[in-house]
Amino acid sequence: MYGGGAETDPAYGADNRWLGAVMHVAFFLLLGGALARFLLRHPGEARTPWIIALSVVLALLYAIPCPPADTRTRWVPFLRDAGPAGAGRPAVLGLGRLAAVVAVWMVLVMLAPSFSWCAVPLFYTGLRLLPARAALVLVSVLTLFVVAAQLRLAGGFDPNFLLAPPAVAAIATAVFLQMERQTARQRTLIGDLVRARRDLAASERRAGTLAERQRLSMEIHDTLAQGLSSQQMLLQAADLVWDSDPAKARTHVRAARSVTEHNLTEARRFVHDLAPADLARGDGLDEALRALAARESGDRLAVRVHVDDDGGRVPRLPERVRSALLRIAQGALANVREHSGARTATVTLTVLEDQVVLDVADDGRGFVPTEPAASGVRGHGMPAMRVRAGQLGGTLTIESAPGEGAVLSVAIPLEPLR
């Protein structure tokens, strides 16, 4: 009857059903034993039909299934405020059956004291269905009936019958309430763990989103933004000589068109997998650097590439290392072209046993590396290059002085990446 109200926690519901089944079996065993004892010791008495009838009614009332509901938390709000139609009906039905069972049991105990020990499963039923205070009142009433019944059976005062029932009731109540408290603490702990896991997952998603945004900002800066900057400079140069030197103006326009074509290729590759277009064609890092130098070279700047590959090891570099070094070279040459006023720049790639080193040197006006403008505060170029190197465990250093050009050097370890 009262074992069907499982909570949402599957483990709690399974344990609750198991304990309810045990109490069911215990109740019917105690009821059957008490009835058998009465029939054996009091055959043919006038009250026997009443005892049998009440025993059957009690068994039927106890066996009727109760609609599932968490009655311990729903019955009081229902009595105070009915709310939606039928919201507290399972709770009220459960309480009604409990009241009927207790009433029939009390009548049986008054007619035949041997039925008193059926109260032990009723302790569990009351503790499970009622709030703690109401359940303790019910347990106390049931215990008084058990004590009175046992004293009647003894035919006089017996300290054992006076003290044993309250002790049994106290043990049963304490064990049940302790189990309930432990279950409540476990549910609270599980809820906290679930919330912590949900918060951690949300935090990881936010961190992943921020990391992806940073990566996208670096890719956009190193590809689309730099390409558009080159186009702007070439078109401005063409506009300056459009009337005085049409041939040179057309050269600038053709160079801008070439940059536009490469930028379009980069944009398409950016949409697909963000890999550098030069590397996506299957070229090694040395060929990609030479293609980059050719695009960056012009009337104002000549870019040379020197590769020291220690026996042709450049193509065997990990893909992440090749991509990062190419992007760093792009950013460095963009800074040289836009800010240094240099006439020449040299890109040197050195592959050693344990690391790969990329140097970009120019003969421009130079700067003081410790000044805020040189550290990349006003732009994304230098911070992006530092982040790319740091993501691979590498370091980025800059050596420069006013009037003496600048050297940017990136060193990335190889062994941990292979």
CA 358 from centroid of its chain's CA atoms:
40
Query: Which pLDDT value is given to residue 269?
Result: 62
Alpha-carbon distance of 93 to 91, in angstroms, equals 5
CA dihedral (402, 406, 408, 409) in degrees, to 10, reads -100
Report residue 36's pLDDT band, with 50, 70 and 90 as the boundaries.
confident
Strand partners of residue 344? 302
For residue 299, the SS3 value is coil
Q: Looking at the structure, give the CATH architecture of the domain made up of residues 298-418.
A: 2-Layer Sandwich (3.30)
Query: Which pLDDT value is given to residue 70?
Result: 44
Domain assignments of the chain as residue spans, ordered by start: 10-157, 298-418
- With 80 as the cut, is the pLDDT of residue 406 above it? yes
- With 90 as the cut, is the pLDDT of residue 396 above it? yes
Alpha-carbon distance of 398 to 300, in angstroms, equals 23
Report residue 115's pLDDT band, with 50, 70 and 90 as the boundaries.
confident
- With 80 as the cut, is the pLDDT of residue 280 above it? no
Query: Which pLDDT value is given to residue 349?
Result: 92
Mean pLDDT of the chain: 76
Report residue 212's pLDDT band, with 50, 70 and 90 as the boundaries.
low
- With 90 as the cut, is the pLDDT of residue 319 above it? no
| Overall pTM surpassing 0.85 (yes/no) | no
CA 361 from centroid of its chain's CA atoms:
47
- With 70 as the cut, is the pLDDT of residue 162 above it? yes
Given a contact cutoff of 8 angstroms between Cβ atoms, the answer to whether 351 and 313 are in contact is: yes
Alpha-carbon distance of 281 to 307, in angstroms, equals 20
The mean-pLDDT minimum among 20-24, 177-181, 314-318 falls in 314-318
Query: Which pLDDT value is given to residue 254?
Result: 84
- With 60 as the cut, is the pLDDT of residue 215 above it? yes
Helix or strand (DSSP H, E) at 120: helix 119-129
Alpha-carbon distance of 147 to 317, in angstroms, equals 88
Report residue 65's pLDDT band, with 50, 70 and 90 as the boundaries.
low
For residue 391, the SS3 value is helix
pLDDT in tens, 349-379: 998 888 899 999 999 998 888 765 544 434 5
Over residues 309-333, the mean pLDDT reads 77
Strand partners of residue 357? 350, 411
pLDDT in tens, 288-318: 898 888 888 877 889 999 988 655 555 568 8
Query: Which pLDDT value is given to residue 112?
Result: 83
Query: Which pLDDT value is given to residue 92?
Result: 67
- With 70 as the cut, is the pLDDT of residue 410 above it? yes
Sheet holding 395-400, edge to edge: 302-308, 344-351, 355-362, 406-413, 395-400
The mean-pLDDT minimum among 61-65, 77-81, 184-188, 191-195 falls in 77-81
Which of 214-223, 292-301, 343-352 is predicted most confidently?
Answer: 343-352
Alpha-carbon distance of 358 to 170, in angstroms, equals 81
Give residues with Cβ within 8 angstroms of 216, minimum separation 6.
Answer: 274
- With 50 as the cut, is the pLDDT of residue 88 above it? no
Report residue 77's pLDDT band, with 50, 70 and 90 as the boundaries.
very low
Query: Which pLDDT value is given to residue 98?
Result: 82
- With 90 as the cut, is the pLDDT of residue 195 above it? no
Query: Which pLDDT value is given to residue 309?
Result: 66
Over residues 154-183, the mean pLDDT reads 76
